[in-house]
Amino acid sequence: MPEGRLNRPLYYNEVGVTMTTRPEYGFGNIPEEYKSYHNAAVAIVPVSYDETATWKKGSRYGPNAIIEASGHLELYDIETDSEVYLEGIYTDHPIKESGLPEDLIREVRTRVATHLAHNKFVVCLGGEHSISIGTVQAYAKKYEDLSVLQLDAHADLQDEYNGSRYNHNCVMARVLECCDIVQVGIRSMDHVETGKIKKGTVFFADAIMNGGDWIGDIVNKLSENVYITIDLDVFDLSIMPATGTPEPGGLNWHQVTSLLKKVTEMRSVVGFDVVELCPSEYSYPQDYLVAKLIYKLLSYIYKEDQNGKKRYTEYTH
Ligand SMILES: [Mn+2]
């Protein structure tokens, strides 16, 4: 296991959703007034969990690495001509669970539901992919017309794996129990999953590389309210080697961000998670990529539309 910076304790406030925060902790090097729960449109929930990981463990260090790297972001986004931190970004204390995934998922679901009840836009940081079961369950309760956009190298449709229905290989099988899904970037799966994928809702990495209007095709499959789950192994391992189960042949930065931009323009993105960063002592470029991806996606989501009106007023204060 990597030593050094990854083993430093996370600084966090102990009060969680009771609406105060400690100054030294949080996503982005942003002024204190934009970190308080009351002022924040966005609530970030770090989830340190990797108990069902089947190859490299270590994604429990992911949230810590992302938050550390986020301190080095420049807060102005060129593409959107915006400073999304002005919406307020609160960072919750981490969920730390070392037991069964069922217990973790229940804890995540409860935490996310609490923030949704306060009308926050919730961003969960993994941790392994099984955490998304809890977040999607909370979102599916709030939004009837919800579809889940999954960016991932793996289909994750196995009904059971290693004796558990909540293994990270089963995430999308569980998500499918509460809403429709669209899968993007897939390039590795088990034979049993071939019978489970829904025709027309899987966009394999190979097909994307062939070009065409794959982004438009994906958007057309999504309902109005979209939850996005980003497994970082959707990226090619040349730019994102720091995952627990890397796969060659993945998407690049511009393919992923172009897709996210279009989805935010055409649909209401109501929440997202970013999972499976498995940091090492030397992964600071990848840690930074993830922090930037999160900030970029928030910038897209909160960008003012052409009339100067914010689309997601529900989350503004
Ligand atoms: Mn994956």
Instruction: Evaluate whether 294 touches 123 at the Cβ level (below 8 Å).
Output: yes
CATH assignment of the domain containing 280: 3.40.800.10
Q: Long-range contacts of range 9-18, CB-CB < 8 Å, 24 or more positions apart?
A: 10/46, 10/48, 10/63, 10/64, 10/67, 10/94, 12/46, 12/91, 12/92, 12/93, 12/94, 13/93, 14/93, 15/93, 16/92, 16/93, 16/111, 17/92, 17/111, 17/114, 17/115, 17/118
Domain that holds residue 218: 4-315
The rounded Å distance from CA 153 to ligand 1 centre is 5
The rounded Å distance from CA 155 to ligand 1 centre is 7
> Percentage of the chain surpassing pLDDT 70?
88
The rounded Å distance from CA 245 to ligand 1 centre is 7
Average pLDDT (227-256) is 97
Residue 22 has a pLDDT of 42
Name the residue with higher pLDDT: 161 or 272.
Answer: 272
Average pLDDT (53-65) is 87
Residue 310 has a pLDDT of 54
Residue 316 has a pLDDT of 41
Residue 215 has a pLDDT of 98
The rounded Å distance from CA 64 to ligand 1 centre is 20
Each residue of 38-50: pLDDT tens digit?
989 999 999 998 8
What is the distance between the alpha carbons of residues 46 and 264, in angstroms, rounded to a whole number? Answer: 23
Instruction: Evaluate whether 275 touches 231 at the Cβ level (below 8 Å).
Output: yes
The rounded Å distance from CA 46 to ligand 1 centre is 19
Residue 185 has a pLDDT of 98
The rounded Å distance from CA 305 to ligand 1 centre is 33
Each residue of 145-162: pLDDT tens digit?
999 999 999 999 998 888
Interacting residues of 194 by C-beta distance below 8 A, sequence separation 6+:
none
The rounded Å distance from CA 205 to ligand 1 centre is 13
The rounded Å distance from CA 54 to ligand 1 centre is 11
Query: What mean pLDDT value characterizes the chain?
Result: 88
The rounded Å distance from CA 186 to ligand 1 centre is 8
Q: Among 81, 88, 83, which Cα is nearest to 121's?
A: 88
Domain count along the chain: 1
- Going by pLDDT thresholds of 50, 70 and 90, the confidence category of residue 203 is very high
Residue 17 has a pLDDT of 33
The rounded Å distance from CA 5 to ligand 1 centre is 25
The rounded Å distance from CA 255 to ligand 1 centre is 17
The rounded Å distance from CA 42 to ligand 1 centre is 25
Residues in the chain: 317
Instruction: Evaluate whether 249 touches 185 at the Cβ level (below 8 Å).
Output: no
**Full-model pTM:** 0.90
Handedness of CA 214, 315, 23, 17 (dihedral sign): negative
Each residue of 162-187: pLDDT tens digit?
888 888 889 999 999 999 999 999 99
